Amino acid sequence: MYKKKIYWTYLIDNFERDLAGVLWWIYETDFNKGDKVCLLPTKELSVKFLYNQKPDVIVWNYARNNNIELIKIAKYLNIFNIIHDTEGIHYDMKTYFNIPKRGFKYIDEIWCWGKTQKETLVKKTSQLKIKPKIMTTGSIRYEYIKSLKKNNLSKNINKILWNTNYAALSPRYQTVFREYKEFYKLHKYATEEESFKLFLNLSARRQKAYEYIEALSKNNKSFKLTIRPHPFESSKFYKNSFLSKNKKVKISEGCDINYDLANTSLVIQNGCQTVLESFIKGIPSIKTSIEDINIWSKVTPYLETNKLVAKFNDIHFLNKIHNEQKKLFRINKINLLIDNLFNKLKIEKSFNSKERRLSFSFHRKAYLIFIRLKILTKDVLIKNVENSQKKKKVSTHDIVNFVYKKYKIKTLSKNNLCIIYPK
């Protein structure tokens, strides 16, 4: 128990993916009991926020080159920095925490989803004098999903959910050309030729999936289909398709994935991490292509269209697919990628405000003065500057509405903040 009320800030990057889980963590577990909590959209995080609010702790949604400078400023302001990735489970360790080694000294703690990630980070930081505490905790997002009731498949027979994963082809917040350039030019993910092949393969994969779903709709009139585009994928392709004309097909956007999962008996996806959400909820998943593109496609059985047409409303067949997935999860050692897959997460607070005072340093003091002057200069020279990419990510308004709707709790909305006080 803490005598001092700790001021926590959780960064929320994606409304559909992150918010429900973080709210559950704050309101329905004992972790933040008695603390002051700010749910801050990543697009509203700024140096001004760090200077003006000075929270005791920030739980960052990731650590990358583009936010290391902010993490550094937070550290110099005596803010305790915790990293807990929210985008997805890292199974390719080559790209995990691909930040400059100096960046680790600004991070106090890392909450890893599984043992594999922890082992990778321990090895990466082994030679560093100043390094973060690395813990295997599991995932807040999946802890929330485990707290929900498992699906009753028999009540949702004939209801199918198609989770798409083609954001690169139809980006929601920028042009395809910009998305393409980012792969080989801006972030140097691949060469131009490799990027071109990647986009061609992705286009073919989407078309094959679409034809699979289309054949299913034509050969069975009783099924109901929900198309759920990836959070960063535009829905235009699906809205302009033949499927959208079918009265039994709907497109789901802007809601927590668990709302859609609660009303389905089968999930169709190709290499999407939603196979994990579905698996925890007791919902079987299938893929539309036999190829294995990543770890998630490896734990998803392939089923030919004609077999699915005949069996998708057979409860015994659906349970058989789910049991097959249990074997695939064991074979591919998913338990090493995400800890506590079937057990409850137990993590203790390690933050202590009395221990967070940094010793005086001329370099640190000069750096903070320099940053402060930059803030003041920008205030004078540039006013009301909008994000050049105009990304419509989650806002404080979205958070306030969601909290009020889900928990019936009035929130304080001031200066672009959503500050809440758990019981």
Architecture per CATH, domain 7-139+340-420, reads as: 3-Layer(aba) Sandwich (3.40)
- What number of other Cβ atoms are within 10 A of residue 240's Cβ? 9
Q: Is there a common fold for 7-139+340-420 and 149-334?
A: yes
Mean pLDDT, residues 382-396: 50
| pLDDT band of 411, cuts 50, 70, 90 | low
For residues 308 and 328, give the distance between their C-alpha atoms in angstroms, rounded to a whole number. 20
Domain 149-334 is found in CATH 1.10.10.10: no
- What is the average pLDDT across 130-139? 90
Structure confidence by residue, pLDDT tens digits, 50-99: 988 889 999 999 988 888 989 999 998 889 999 998 887 877 787 788 88
Task: Select the highest-mean-pLDDT range: 7-16, 192-201, 317-326, 350-359.
Answer: 317-326
The pLDDT of residue 125 is above 60:
yes
126-144 mean pLDDT: 90
User: Taking the domains of the chain in order of start, what are their residue ranges?
Assistant: 7-139+340-420, 149-334
Determine the average pLDDT of the residues in 259-284: 92
Percent of the chain with pLDDT over 70: 83
Residue type, 195: S
* Separation CA 116–CA 121 (nearest Å): 9
Range with lowest mean pLDDT among 112-116, 184-188, 350-354: 350-354
| Model pTM score | 0.83
